[in-house]
Structure 1
């Protein structure tokens, strides 16, 4: 695919811009969770490493957005990089889901009088 072809640039822009926004959204939500809650099933090392990965990924996505805008949609992103971000989002979804499940179990165990 030639990025100089206007139709290919438009497709790339139409797909890539919202995808980058989605990555930033999920990275932000995951960071909020990690920064505000204790995730008991993660060791402190795992917690810190995941938080560092999220912070780095957010910087990478911001950089990619800037590049795409600066090149008027002619810059792409390597599939390997996108897969890394996708895998990180998936990992965070799993952690969030497990955490929510544990929270729900704790609340169900509370007896109201």
Structure 2
């Protein structure tokens, strides 16, 4: 049977790295592109949510590493992050539909 620490290292570590990667892509996308299908205020609010999630993730990763990979992350928080990334991915999909030749493959 796999120990809790080993399970956390094998599953949570890579998952946190994935969240870090996708939040960064989402941040760049929202800062660099003009999404004409949502208001500038809605785009800014979404960017602020991504920035807040990045800060939450950074804190969670710090606790995870400081505990020698023995502290997990609240599943409800990770579900919130997942919903946010799905929202960003949908905006990226809509953007690429409108701008198929765009170099922006961000999100």
Q: How many residues align?
A: 100
Aligned mate of 2:26, from 25, 30, 37: 30
Cα deviation per residue 1:68-94 (whole Å; 9 max; x = unaligned)?
110011211111100000001111110
Q: Following superposition of structure 1 onto structure 2, how do residues 68-83 of structure 1 map, counting pairs within 5 Å?
A: 68-83=64-79
Aligned mate of 2:5, from 3, 9, 21: 9
Greater mean alpha carbon deviation, residues 6-15 or residues 35-44: 6-15
Shift of 1:13: 1.4
Q: Could you list the runs of 5+ residues in structure 2 that have no partner in the other structure? A: 102-107
The structure whose Rg is larger is: 1
RMSD: 1.2
Q: Which contiguous aligned blocks of 4+ residues in structure 1 show a shift greater than 4 angstroms?
A: none
Q: Could you list the runs of 5+ residues in structure 1 that have no partner in the other structure? A: 1-5, 108-113
